[in-house]
Amino acid sequence: MIEAIGTYLPVWGSATGRVPGEDEDVVTMAVAAGRGALADPGTPVDTVVLISRELPLLEGGNGAPLLAGLDLELTVDVREEIGGAPAALEAVTNARPGTLVIAADVQGGAGAAAVRCGSAGPAVGSLGRVTRSLPVVTRDASGTVTEYADPRLLRERGVRRSLERLGPLGSVVAVAGLARRDAEQLTGAEGLPALPTTGASAALFALAEVAEGAAGGPVLAVEQATVALVELGPGPVAVHRDEAPPRSQPVTRPGAHADIAVSLAAYDRAFDAKLRLVAERCTTCGTLAYPARFRCLTCGSEAETAPVALPRDAVVYTVATIHVPVPGLSTPYTVILAELGDSAVRLLVRLTGAEAGSVGIGDRGRLVFRRVAVRTGVPDYGYAFTPEGPAEVAA
C-alpha cells in the first residue's frame, strides 16, 4: 500500500524536460525525492530500493550516501537495481510495508520520484507483464550508448506486439516510458498525463499523477519491448512535490581538468558529520562543535559529547562570488557562509539551483544534498544552499 509519494525535478531545463545541475546525480535526486516521501510520519522504513540505469557507482555501492542524505539508520537494507519504468512499477507492487522505492534518471528528462509503502493507503496490484528483447538502445559498461535509429520498429515490432500479448489494458489512466502522443496512439487512451521523465522514475511520477486524482486505475510502464501493467486502488495519498518552475541554465566557463586524488581515510573520517549534518554538543557547557572536536573550544572539556542533528533551514551570513578560473570548477560560482537555524553553527557551502551572485546577506533558504566533487572516480557528497523557492506540496 502506498502511504506517500515524493517527487523532485532539477530547476534547470524547460517545460519539455529538465537537466541535472553540475552538482546533481542519481543519488542527490533520489535523496530529494525520498525526503519528500518521508516528510510525514508513517511506517518506519527498513528497506530502500533504488532503481536507475545511471547509478554513479557500480562497485562499492551508493547505499551509504543515500541513507545519510535520507537520515536513515545504517542498518536499513539498501537494494540497488539497474532498470527502467517496468522495474520501478513492479518494485512498488512487490514491496512490503516499510519499503521506500526510489527511481531516478539523468537522461531522457532528469528527475526522481519515491514511493513510501506501508500498512495504509491504496494498494497496487499486478495485472500482467511481458518481457521481450528488442535492444533499440544499448549502453555498455563504459557508458557508451548506441541507438538503432528506427522508432517505427520499436513502436510496431516492440511495444505494440508486447501490448497485444499482454491482453486487454482496461481504461489505462497513465503510461510511463513513452511520450504522451505515442502512449495515446498505442493504448487508445485519451487525456493521459504528460510525465517529465521516460526512464525508471517515470513509473513513480505516473503513480503520483494518478494518486493525486484519488480515483485509481490501471498504470502501464514501458521500456523498449518490455511492458508491465498494474492497478492502483482508489484513495488519497500525500504527494510532496519539489518541482520548481524550470529555468535556463546559466552560462559558465568550464575550468581546466583537475585530476585530484581522493584520500579515503579523510573521506571516511568526515563521512557521517558531512553527509548527516551532525554536530557534537559539549555535555559540560552545551557548546556545539561542527565537525566534532576532542576538546571544547569554550570550556576546554574533554568529556564525552552528544550528537545533535543540525537544522537544514539556513540564512546567508556572508557571501562571495568567484570569477577567477579554478581547476575542476565552472565559473562564476558563489560560496556562502550559511547559518543553520538557531544552532549558531555556520557552514561554508556553494550556491545551487540559482544563478551565481543572485543571493545576498540575510537571504533565507535551506541546505540540500549535493555532489561536491568527484575524486579518483569517487563521488563526494555534501550540502549546498538553495534559496527559498515555490516548491509545491499537494495532498
Cell digits for 395? 495532498
**How far is Cα 117 from Cα 226, in angstroms, rounded to an integer?**
24
Residue 286 CA to its chain's centroid (Å): 35
Helices (H) and strands (E) in the chain, counts: 8, 23
The percent of residues in the chain predicted with pLDDT above 70, rounded, is 98
Q: Could you give the residue ranges of the DSSP H alpha helices within the chain?
A: 26-37, 63-70, 85-94, 151-153, 161-166, 180-187, 200-213, 264-276
Please compute the mean of the pLDDT values over residues 111-118 and round it to a whole number. Answer: 97
289: nearest Cα among 276, 275, 306, 272: 306
Do residues 239 and 40 touch, judged by C-beta distance below 8 A? no
The confidence band for 391, taking pLDDT boundaries of 50, 70 and 90, is very low
Cell digits for 188? 487508445
Q: Which helix (H) or strand (E) holds 111?
A: strand 111-117
Cell digits for 373? 566533487
pLDDT for 7 equals: 98
Average pLDDT, the chain: 91
Q: Cα dihedral sign for 167, 85, 64, 290?
A: negative
Please tell me the least confidently modeled range out of 106-110, 165-169, 265-269, 389-393.
389-393
- Report the DSSP beta bridge partners of residue 175: 220
Please compute the mean of the pLDDT values over residues 164-193 and round it to a whole number. Answer: 91
321 versus 344: the higher-pLDDT residue is 321
Residue type, 372: V
Tell me the per-residue pLDDT of 20-68, one tens digit each, with 9 for 90 and over: 999 999 999 999 999 999 999 999 999 999 999 999 988 888 999 999 9
pLDDT for 328 equals: 80
Domain ranges of the chain: 2-242, 250-276+312-389, 278-309
Please compute the mean of the pLDDT values over residues 70-75 and round it to a whole number. Answer: 95
pLDDT for 58 equals: 86
In the chain, how long is the greatest CA-to-CA distance? 75
pLDDT for 18 equals: 96
Instruction: Please give the DSSP secondary-structure letter assigned to residue 93.
Output: H
Instruction: Please give the DSSP secondary-structure letter assigned to residue 222.
Output: E
Do residues 73 and 98 touch, judged by C-beta distance below 8 A? no
7: nearest Cα among 196, 228, 268: 196
348 versus 156: the higher-pLDDT residue is 348
pTM for this prediction: 0.92
Question: Percentage helix, strand, coil, to 5, in the chain?
Answer: 20, 35, 45
The confidence band for 329, taking pLDDT boundaries of 50, 70 and 90, is confident
Tell me the per-residue pLDDT of 205-229, one tens digit each, with 9 for 90 and over: 999 999 998 889 999 999 988 999 9
The confidence band for 394, taking pLDDT boundaries of 50, 70 and 90, is very low
197: nearest Cα among 17, 11, 385: 17
Q: Which CATH architecture has domain 2-242?
A: 3-Layer(aba) Sandwich (3.40)
* 306 has pLDDT over 90: yes
192 versus 143: the higher-pLDDT residue is 192
Please compute the mean of the pLDDT values over residues 95-117 and round it to a whole number. Answer: 96
Tell me the per-residue pLDDT of 254-269, one tens digit each, with 9 for 90 and over: 887 777 888 889 888 8
31: nearest Cα among 8, 54, 3: 8
pLDDT for 389 equals: 64
Instruction: Give the three-state DSSP class for 162.
Output: helix
Q: Which helix (H) or strand (E) holds 394?
A: strand 393-394
Contacts of 30 (CB under 8 A, 6+ apart): 50, 52, 66, 102, 104, 112, 114
Q: Which helix (H) or strand (E) holds 340?
A: strand 333-340
Torsion angle of C-alpha atoms 59, 60, 65, 66, degrees rounded to 10: 60
The percent of residues in the chain predicted with pLDDT above 90, rounded, is 71
Please tell me the least confidently modeled range out of 167-171, 332-336, 382-386.
167-171
